[in-house]
Structure 1
């Protein structure tokens, strides 16, 4: 019985990630249950044993990826600490610490096939689906800006960076990163220059705001 459960679980995941690849390439409306079944290599009737509809596959995929993104901090080895501790660590360790974190996150979002395809899928569907648009904004824009605003506010309070508008600081820090991620959504091949540019961006940001 245990083996059967494992096989069933693996099949469901294969279905989800096959659908993700198809949705990222063709959009939700451009994919049928027949396409997904063919991609998995099973009969369409077998597909319905796991998911009742394409919408259920899509919704399950959204929930699975959002859940996985919740574990990104630990999977990338990024510190999972209160913003007060992160502000202190960044303040004491200097820009090298923020460079390391930024490159780790950037590499994941731009290179991990599931993360990259998921972002591509959401980018396609957000204009025709308000729910998807809210998920896209939360995952890739709002949550990042909210956290960075809190981090820079705390760093100002602790005296590591000079006074300024934390909303503007967050925009100045994150906008180039988001722009670079968007560039690779279009299929461009990431090279060493991209990582070097990201590193220089973080260093310049640090030099602009850090107190002597």
Structure 2
């Protein structure tokens, strides 16, 4: 009913295109995944085997990490679909266990898991100091997630959040990157 009202059609018309609420929701998830893949391609994220990606991130220095982190951050903050999707999941996760599971998977678990694997490989290759990759991933991602929620919907603070994000990445890099030999 709410979706039909929002797009200005009758509820019965909506079910001509979708068989159920679940199908509508699945379409929203598929669309979000597709939009992120398209956006990621435009960010020029390192791609390929984990070993190659770790080397690219490490040899590119913190400027590469700042650029990519900033682009992904701004995608989730500013892209109308991505922003609304995140807000919808944030609200609905308290009403539905499946939505809560998806929210955690998309915005927390997948990001931390990916970053932990990447940091583990960077440690193996000698680019980062010996530390727990899982803790490193938490230390890297948590401030970004917090900033995303803090600055959501506050367009006039965009320069401020960009500076804080850059300082966070610089400090993280300073703590964990091994000195060049």
Corresponding residue SS for 1:161:
coil
Gaps of 5+ in 1: 1-32
Q: Flag the structure with larger Rg.
A: 1
1:151 corresponds to 2:129: no
CA contact (8 A) 1:78 1:101 kept: yes
Q: TM-score, normalised by structure 2?
A: 0.88
Aligned mates of 1:55, 1:89 — CA distance in 2: 40
1:96 corresponds to 2:98: no
Residue of structure 2 in register with 1:203 after alignment? 170
Corresponding residue SS for 1:79:
coil
Corresponding residue SS for 2:149:
helix
Q: TM-score, normalised by structure 1?
A: 0.76
**1:71, distance to aligned residue in structure 2 (A):** 4.0
1:180 corresponds to 2:142: no
Count of residues in Structure 1 that have an aligned counterpart in Structure 2: 178
CA contact (8 A) 1:73 1:80 kept: no
1:114 corresponds to 2:78: no
Deviations 1:122-145 (A, max 9, x none): 001112211111111111111111
**1:84, distance to aligned residue in structure 2 (A):** 0.8
Q: Which moved more, 1:87-96 or 1:51-60?
A: 51-60
Residue of structure 2 in register with 1:160 after alignment? 127
Aligned mates of 1:89, 1:36 — CA distance in 2: 43
CA contact (8 A) 2:151 2:161 kept: no
Gaps of 5+ in 2: none
